[in-house]
Structure 1
Amino acid sequence: MSQPTPDNPQPPIAAAVIVDGGKLLLVRRRVKEGSLSWQFPAGEVESSETARAAAVREAFEETGLTVTDVKVLGERVHPATGRTMIYVACDIVSGDAYVKDDEELVELTWTQRGQLTEYVPYPFFEPVQQYVDESLTP
């Protein structure tokens, strides 16, 4: 897992990539991060946790879903934000998604493959895009 470094003192961000019933969960934040509007439930990895644990925690804090981490899909420095991102595929254990953290989120949506470009007009990070392509129904 990435830790803050002198070059990048900010902690990494863990993103929960959640697919259920052939749809992908996206959230829209109150404050845009660069050109980003719709994105995955995500937040900073705390010093006492792994990226996988942070993705699980953030999914619950933001959407009320209890999820389990399945695998790390990949890691990169996000080109729009400059933050180290760690993408974690997660499966739902229980709950129904809703805007739990209404100070941070405006809304959420479950989107199908054919609707993705309405929310995110560019491809995801390659390993994430591959996972999404394999997981979403046409």
Structure 2
Amino acid sequence: MSHLSRTLPIKRAAHVYLVHEGQLLLVEERMDDGSIFYGLPGGKAHAGETLGDAAVRQVLVETGLHVTDLMFVSLIEGELLTGTRNECYANFGRFTASFSGDLAPTDPEVVGVKWVPFGQVEALVRYGPPPEVEERNPLIWVPTRDFVRGQPRAYYPI
């Protein structure tokens, strides 16, 4: 049997757990089907951009907050969305950070920013269609669940 190799596009992204008095900052985004999705502030890294720089840039546009002193928490890595048009190799960093400023998102996709008590974070997670939306993949939320429970791991293979 011959070995068939394939090359997957790599998606690199960084998200930040911003914590204040037992609450986690989540952004509210409107999905294509009109529903509201809650997620961590952060997003895709540009070509040549470090995950840390992507985290700082994305948090600023999505929340208005300036983050400093990034501390690594977790890396999520592996093949994501296999069999869909968005199949990719994911390399997602999760950080905590200090922050300053006022909540004032400028990203047009963000419809709100909300401090959510740790105990209520998991209730906001929605899984399911459409399958190409990677943020609705349960594997993406496992590290957040562990973080709010005080049990983050450093590495999450997908």
TM-score (norm 2): 0.65
The SS at the match of 1:134 is coil
Please give the alpha-carbon distance, in whole angstroms, between the structure 1 residues aligned to 2:10 and 2:122. 30
CA contact (8 A) 1:62 1:99 kept: yes
CA contact (8 A) 1:16 1:40 kept: yes
Name 1:17's counterpart in structure 2: 17
The SS at the match of 2:113 is strand
Q: Would you say how many aligned residue pairs link Structure 1 and Structure 2?
A: 128
CA contact (8 A) 1:73 1:128 kept: no
| Displacement of 1:96 | 2.2
The SS at the match of 1:48 is coil
Uncovered stretches (5+) of structure 2, i.e. residues with no partner: 1-5, 128-137, 152-158
| Displacement of 1:11 | 3.1
Percent identity of equivalent pairs: 30
Please give the alpha-carbon distance, in whole angstroms, between the structure 1 residues aligned to 2:54 and 2:22. 24
Is 2:86 the partner of 1:115?
A: no
Is 2:110 the partner of 1:105?
A: yes
| Displacement of 1:22 | 1.2
CA contact (8 A) 1:59 1:65 kept: yes
Cα pair distance change 1:46/1:18, threshold 3 Å: same
Cα pair distance change 1:115/1:72, threshold 3 Å: closer
CA contact (8 A) 2:11 2:91 kept: no
